[in-house]
């Protein structure tokens, strides 16, 4: 199955750029397994293309050898340099006679690996691009990377290429609607659980799609020896952050606190100094899509009172169920996951995961509520003071520019939702009314349909069923 499914918008953007009359630079970034490389192959499979991929965690000299090897494989007529090259400046100049007076796409994939996470390659590329490549023909240069922090800081915002980038594409995980295209045989509830357990990562959805059911897929992929998801944590973390223990410490502590921790609390739990180093770690994790921050409603974006939570569905699933069962998996016990699904802990986990899913689909919810054209900030509500044991008090709140707060109560239950949900929501409504001079719009988002008694109260402005989020 092609991971291009669901990337129609990005595909169209890349194809339209081919019609430009000048040479252009496009930057593409997104976490691993999200389908960037497949998108590039699909977008440029019928045009002259030179494709280069960096080597993970290899030296500059090996990257240069790899670059020359890939070049000579793709362009048979080019002569291999007699002496090993020592600079990217000279290596990039080898492209000039190949592309002269032609239309070419040049792709540097896993660009952060080619660069060894350093600035040198970018400065050399800038010089060769300005002086030679951009003038040699009509060239589309694609810089693609899976380490978002490197691509943002050094490529998009870096001095060398500042002002030279023509477009930036952030390839994100699929939405529920896009995931459905990869799991066409799954009914709604199974699609919902698939998204809550492994997220919208195309590679993961592709693996799951090969099985007749979600639970069979996860039993084989996550709870059987040599299952793909068992070692995926090590694979994605080593490729993103090497062996830096601080990143793992942060992820592991956030896995213990599903309602999030502040920077100060993270520092206390991990013994990472509360300073610039921690800020860098958090930025790198958040830009890579592994964690997400939320600010109090009454604070600015740069507040230090933000809370950080695990965003990645697979990581949450790994720490909740795969890692605690490693010994059972390695001993060859059978039906581990099937037994897990019968527990109250699993259903509670689905309830919290449904809250995350709704946060991920905030844009869709704003459309269903009819205010998508109004500026808003969105996230769980929590008090601005440290609240280590209180957790997030309101599932989801939209703070709208039209002076309205949309309070969303989120429920994932096996049975229909009755009028008891009103008392819970009223407490939260009072909390917001006391603190903010805003109109409160009450919304219920639920997996199961409401009872007639609840509908007859007309308490909620709108009741959104999970099926409407697709």
State the Cα–Cα distance between residues 195 and 204, nearest whole angstrom. 10
Q: Which two tokens stand for residue 283?
A: 């930025």
Cα dist. 182→53, 214, 401, 414, 441 in Å?
Answer: 27, 13, 36, 26, 35
Grouping H, G, I as helix, E, B as strand and the rest as coil, residue 368 is helix
Strand partners, 262: 307
- Alpha-helix runs per DSSP H in 223-335: 228-241, 245-256, 263-270, 276-287, 313-317, 326-330
| 8 A C-beta contact, residue 140 and residue 104 | yes
CATH 3.40.50.300: which residues of the chain?
8-170
Contacts of 157 (CB under 8 A, 6+ apart): none
State the Cα–Cα distance between residues 314 and 229, nearest whole angstrom. 8
| 8 A C-beta contact, residue 357 and residue 195 | yes
Grouping H, G, I as helix, E, B as strand and the rest as coil, residue 332 is coil
Strand partners, 463: 444
pLDDT at 457: 98
Hey, how many other C-beta atoms are within 10 angstroms of the C-beta on 338? 13
The domain defined by 361-469 folds into Trna Endonuclease; Chain: A, domain 1 (3.40.1350)
| 8 A C-beta contact, residue 49 and residue 37 | no
| 8 A C-beta contact, residue 251 and residue 286 | no
Starting from the edge strand earliest in sequence, which strands make up the sheet with 404-411, in order? 376-381, 394-400, 404-411, 439-446, 462-465
Q: Which two tokens stand for residue 373?
A: 């054209």
| 8 A C-beta contact, residue 155 and residue 122 | yes
State the Cα–Cα distance between residues 60 and 41, nearest whole angstrom. 26
Residue among 447, 1, 380, 458 at smallest CA distance from 192: 447
Yes or no: domain 181-355 corresponds to CATH 1.10.10.10: yes
Q: What is the pLDDT along the chain (470 residues), one digit of tens a residue?
A: 344 567 889 999 999 988 888 999 999 999 889 999 999 999 999 999 999 999 988 999 999 999 999 999 999 767 666 677 889 999 999 999 999 999 999 999 999 999 998 999 999 999 999 999 999 989 999 999 998 889 999 999 999 998 889 999 999 999 999 999 999 999 999 999 999 999 999 999 999 999 999 999 999 999 999 999 999 998 888 777 767 889 999 999 999 999 899 999 999 999 999 887 899 999 989 998 899 999 888 788 888 889 999 999 999 999 999 999 999 999 999 999 999 999 999 999 999 999 999 999 999 999 999 999 999 999 998 865 544 444 447 889 999 999 999 999 999 999 999 999 999 999 999 989 988 989 999 999 999 999 999 999 999 999 999 999 99
Hey, how many other C-beta atoms are within 10 angstroms of the C-beta on 280? 13
Phi and psi (nearest 5°) for 85?
-80, 150
| 8 A C-beta contact, residue 225 and residue 242 | no
β-pair type (291-294, 307-310): antiparallel
State the Cα–Cα distance between residues 12 and 290, nearest whole angstrom. 27
In order, the DSSP letters of 96-115 are HHHHTTSEEEEEEESHHHHT
CATH 3.40.1350.10: which residues of the chain?
361-469
Phi and psi (nearest 5°) for 178?
-70, -35
pLDDT at 237: 80
pLDDT at 217: 98
What's the half-sphere exposure (Cβ side, CA atoms, 13 Å) at 18? Answer: 17
pLDDT at 392: 43
CATH 1.10.10.10: which residues of the chain?
181-355
State the Cα–Cα distance between residues 279 and 266, nearest whole angstrom. 11
Cα dist. 294→79, 131, 156, 157, 303 in Å?
Answer: 54, 44, 24, 24, 10
Residue among 457, 395, 394, 382 at smallest CA distance from 420: 457
pLDDT at 2: 45
Residue among 32, 26, 10 at smallest CA distance from 290: 32
Q: Of the CATH numbers 3.30.300.30, 3.40.50.2300, 3.40.50.300, 3.40.50.1980, which one belongs to the domain with range 8-170?
A: 3.40.50.300
């Amino acid at each position: 199955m092609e991971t291009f499914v669901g990337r129609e918008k990005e595909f169209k953007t890349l194809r339209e750029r081919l019609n430009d009359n000048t040479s252009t630079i496009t930057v593409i970034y997104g976490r691993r397994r999200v389908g960037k490389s497949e998108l590039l192959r699909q977008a440029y499979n019928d045009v002259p293309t030179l494709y280069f991929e960096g080597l993970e965690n290899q030296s500059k000299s090996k990257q240069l050898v790899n670059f020359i090897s890939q070049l000579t494989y793709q362009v048979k007529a080019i002569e291999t340099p007699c002496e090993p090259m020592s600079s990217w400046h000279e290596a990039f100049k080898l492209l000039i006679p190949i592309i002269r007076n032609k239309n070419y796409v040049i792709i540097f994939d896993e660009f952060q690996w080619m660069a060894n996470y350093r600035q040198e390659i970018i400065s050399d590329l800038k010089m060769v691009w300005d002086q030679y490549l951009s003038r040699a023909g009509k060239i589309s240069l694609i810089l693609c990377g899976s380490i978002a922090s490197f691509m943002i800081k050094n490529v998009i915002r870096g001095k060398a290429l500042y002002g030279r980038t023509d477009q930036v594409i952030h390839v994100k995980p699929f939405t529920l609607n896009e995931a459905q295209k990869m799991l066409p045989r799954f009914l709604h509830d199974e699609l919902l659980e698939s998204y809550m357990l492994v997220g919208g990562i195309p590679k993961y959805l592709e693996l799951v799609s090969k099985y007749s059911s979600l639970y069979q897929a996860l039993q084989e992929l996550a709870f059987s020896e040599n299952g793909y998801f068992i070692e995926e944590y090590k694979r994605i973390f080593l490729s993103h952050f090497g062996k830096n223990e601080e990143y793992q410490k942060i992820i592991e502590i956030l896995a213990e606190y599903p309602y999030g921790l502040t920077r100060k609390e993270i520092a206390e739990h991990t013994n990472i100094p509360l300073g610039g180093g921690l800020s860098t770690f958090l930025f790198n994790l958040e830009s890579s899509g592994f964690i997400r921050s939320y600010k109090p409603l009454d604070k600015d974006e740069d507040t230090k009172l933000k809370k950080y939570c695990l965003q990645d569905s697979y990581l949450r699933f790994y720490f909740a169920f795969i890692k605690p069962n490693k010994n059972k998996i390695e001993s060859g016990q059978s039906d581990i996951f099937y037994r897990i699904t019968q527990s109250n802990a699993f259903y509670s986990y689905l309830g919290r995961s449904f809250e995350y899913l709704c946060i991920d689909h905030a844009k869709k919810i704003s459309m269903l509520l009819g205010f998508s054209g109004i500026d808003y900030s969105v996230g769980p509500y929590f008090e601005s003071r440290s609240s280590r044991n209180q957790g997030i008090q309101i599932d989801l709140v939209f703070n709208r520019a039209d002076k309205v707060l949309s309070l969303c109560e989120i429920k994932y239950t096996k049975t229909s939702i009755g009028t008891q949900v009103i008392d819970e929501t009223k407490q939260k409504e009072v909390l917001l009314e006391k603190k903010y001079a805003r109109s409160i719009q009450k919304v219920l988002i639920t997996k199961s349909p409401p009872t007639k008694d609840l509908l007859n109260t007309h308490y909620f402005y709108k009741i959104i069923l999970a099926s409407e989020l697709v």
